[in-house]
A and B are shown apart, each in its own frame.
Chain A
Amino acid sequence: MAGPDAMAELVAEAVGGSRSALARLISVAERGGEGSAALEAALLPCRGESYSIGITGAPGAGKSTLASALTTELQTAGERVALLAVDPSSPLTRGAILGDRVRLQPHLGNPEVFIRSMASRGHLGGLAMATCTARRVLEACGWPLVLIETVGVGQAELDVAGATDTVLVVLNPGWGDEMQANKAGLMEIADIFVINKADRQGLEATRRDLEAAIAANAPTRRPAIVETVATEGTGLNALREAIADHRQQTTASGEHQRRRQARAVTELRDLARARLELALEAQLAGAAGKALADAVTRRETDVDSAARRLLATLFTRSDPEQAP
């Protein structure tokens, strides 16, 4: 694993405009562990602000196609666009087919567009563990706009709200029962509802249902509704404007700042939890853990006391650099 100097060098290269350095940094983030920690540290001094847009919705709703059309739209407005596209890993084999790029064909080879496919690698919540780090890498490298496509959302996969500045929830005409079941969650996270595949039947009914659901569940936030046909590029202008409005409103109201604050808390919690878990597992596998488990088996101590003792072993070191 690269030491801090090598990492700083790679970061400098990426910030200097090397795409391959940028790409390798994202790989470092994906591999996680101490490399990723070193990367975070190396990114800290970097300036650079980017605005991030999350795109979430059921499998096949047209997220990638929409991301592609939106990229085209933003490109014509002169913006450089980076996209992180997350697809699920198989829980059984850990393998994945990352197919989002096929929808992004129009942007293949365009130097103004950076696309990176990421496998969720067992992370629940719709993003990969490394997505936020990857976003920070892009930010450091001066990509002003970062689109993040989640895996198709199920029940609890709503992490994208914490990770991005504007969240697009993509629905289709005739949004099915799965969506109904998930309505409350989506109402909570959506900044803009995109009814994509507006060329399909049932558009009117869906819009009505959606308006009613917003009135019932999110009367104060009132997320905008935009209709698009991503495959034809229809409605993208309106979507770009809706995003710009949302950005402007949240910036003016201070909401934007509050979200970033909340994001920091979330990331802090996630990372701390992940480290805690790792340390816990290590301890459990070590001598102390074995001894405690034996004691419980032999009924020399109760489980709860053993658990507290185990935790205590994690926090006995005084050097914070050595903490889990």
Chain B
Amino acid sequence: MNDKNSDGKAWVSTSGIPLKPFYRDEDIPPQHRERLAAAPGEPPFHRGAYPTGYRTKPWRIFQLSGFGKPEDENARIKFLLEQGETGFIMEHDRNTGDHCYNVDHPEVVARREDVGLTGAVMQSVRDIDICMKDLPIETSYAHAGGAVVQHAPFALAGYWTVAKRRGVALDRLPGTGQSDYFLTYLGCVTKQQVPTDTGLRFNADIMEFCDRHLPRWVPVSIAGYNAADTGLNAFQELGALFANAVEYLEEIQRRGTMPLARAARGCGGVSFRMSMDLFEEASKLRAARLMWQQLLAERYDIRDPKVANLRIHCVTAGSRMTYQQPMNNIVRGTIMALAGALGGVQSLGVSGYDEALSIPSEHAHQMSVRIQQILQEETNVSAVTDPLGGSWYVETLTAELVERAWSFFDEIQAQGGFLASLDSGWLHEKAAENQHREFMAQETGEQVIVGVTAHKDDSSPYEVDGFMGVDDAFDVALERLEDVRRTRHEAGAAAALRQLEQVCRGSDNIMPAMMDALDAEVTLGEIGDVWRDVFGDWATPIQT
């Protein structure tokens, strides 16, 4: 048996694992045989988080959404819910939100047309209130925004404050804010953001706060998706994700302020990317659950099955969605979504077919929902849990991914840990190396992308023009900002801001002060100024 074609082409998985022409029982490594018999919902959980799978709980249809003014975003979310989305995501504008700037910051003013392009502008609790208008916050799982670490305290405190004002008790709220390092420390590095150690403090503070007040909230959600779409391969995505989790758990352990098992539960809701290598990606989710169970048992002696079952959200790989012949992306979205379903996701987002052109148009968004509905309701994939279990190929691939992922995890530890590997640029270089290899493979024809490197179609290169957005987001945001400043109780806002700054300079949990600040209508940019003043700026290791 060999893994070379007659013309010398190597058959390997996307992450570089050599593939045989077919698999047999004896290919499954001995140390991975014992687990084969476990049922879904049983440790080590590779077969699934729950025994009855999608029969009792279909995966959540969960689409990234948002643009323009808060009311534009609100309308889009309602549209998606009408189409059958079963949770909702509130995207904040990245010029303001991710940078913690108000719209009148010079960096934002210089790019005013860009404001609202990829998320709604929300500078105060009033804006968040508009965006949440009539949304079923008690019954739907929400992504409240705050995917970016330095923005999470604002987005979360804002969402929670609006809920409180509506009379919804915090302990009833389901959702997450993500607060993910991969997004802006590896993936899209912002112009300014707090250093990584400050981010760790924020996230641990959020974990503690949720532990006390929001038991149904996933305080932080590590997004392997962002790492993978920046360039890490399947096993690197796994290794890096768990290296990140270790950083959180050990911070909580150092603090000793809450039981570690509850912290583990708090960071046991993660996301991965589903890309085009169908079996590798499905196996990756099986490997992920197995690794989480191993990590908790072996490193922290946490064995409670309610904590050790990893819950997984997936997003289909945006980077696999092409600019050329965009309708092909509907097929790609379906295949990647299927990989997630076969791997046992709890929640799924499918990229729009216009992914490479713009944020999704209404139609593209609808298609992303429909793809999932077709899979759920027409294909019978929901009938049986872990349909790939016992496949010699998939079991071997799962084992191989686990082994390689742990060695990548060890490499990160050897760099001084996850945060150190971000600070030094080591992880960025790994991603860049993979990307370089991928481009070379496209040049030699080893990797084919239909419509891009082969089967091109020069006569009608585009069939869609992407989403145009709205053009009044900046002006309206500026008016509303002025309005908040004019009409809020100024002394109360100033006092809350002072209090926040004081807490930041000390070591207390920042979230109570954030709740007060949002309630007092302190604005995003004012909070960002506190961050910049107290914590400074991250020393970005990359040069773009």
Q: A interface vs B, CB < 8 Å?
A: 65, 97, 99, 102, 105, 231-232
Contact = CB atoms under 8 A, between A and B. Distances in A.
A190 to B, nearest CB: 24
B444 interface: no
A102 B543 CA distance: 6
B537 interface: yes
- In the A-B complex, the 7 residue pairs with the closest CB atoms: A99-B543, A231-B539, A102-B543, A232-B536, A231-B537, A231-B536, A102-B544
B544 A65 contact: no
A53 B433 CA distance: 36
A65 B539 contact: yes
B197 to A, nearest CB: 10
Contacts of A102: 540, 543-544
12 contacts: A65-B539, A97-B543, A99-B543, A102-B540, A102-B543, A102-B544, A105-B191, A231-B536, A231-B537, A231-B539, A232-B536, A232-B537
A102 B544 CA distance: 7
Contacts of B191: 105
Nearest to B542: A102
Contacts of A231: 536-537, 539
Nearest to A234: B536
Nearest to B424: A60
A149 to B, nearest CB: 14
Contacts of B540: 102
A97 B543 CA distance: 9
Contacts of A105: 191
B207 to A, nearest CB: 26
A201 to B, nearest CB: 10
Interface residues of B, number: 7
Contacts of B543: 97, 99, 102
Contacts, number: 12
B427 to A, nearest CB: 16
Given A231-B537, A232-B536, 8 more contacts: A65-B539, A102-B540, A102-B543, A102-B544, A105-B191, A231-B536, A231-B539, A232-B537
A231 B543 CA distance: 15
Nearest to A105: B191
A93 to B, nearest CB: 15
Contacts of B544: 102
Nearest to B540: A102
B15 to A, nearest CB: 28
A27 B382 CA distance: 66
Nearest to B538: A231
A65 B537 CA distance: 12
Contacts of A65: 539
A102 B189 CA distance: 13
A111 to B, nearest CB: 16
A109 B409 CA distance: 43
A102 B541 CA distance: 10
A63 to B, nearest CB: 13
Give the residue among B536, B539, B540, B544 with the most A Cβ atoms within 10 A. Answer: B539
Contacts of B539: 65, 231
Interface in B158-209: 191
Nearest to A97: B543
A95 to B, nearest CB: 15
Interface string B508-544: 0000000000000000000000000000110110011
A232 to B, nearest CB: 5
A99 B541 CA distance: 11
Contacts of B536: 231-232
A97 B544 CA distance: 11
A118 B52 CA distance: 64
Contacts of A232: 536-537
Nearest to B425: A60
B440 to A, nearest CB: 16
A198 to B, nearest CB: 13
A157 B537 CA distance: 32
A198 B501 CA distance: 25
A220 to B, nearest CB: 36
B119 to A, nearest CB: 24
Nearest to B543: A99
A97 B432 CA distance: 15
Nearest to B535: A232
Contacts of A97: 543
A105 B544 CA distance: 11
A232 B532 CA distance: 10
B352 to A, nearest CB: 32
A102 B539 CA distance: 11
Nearest to A100: B543
Contacts of B537: 231-232
A12 to B, nearest CB: 35
A199 to B, nearest CB: 9
A97 B537 CA distance: 24
Nearest to A98: B543
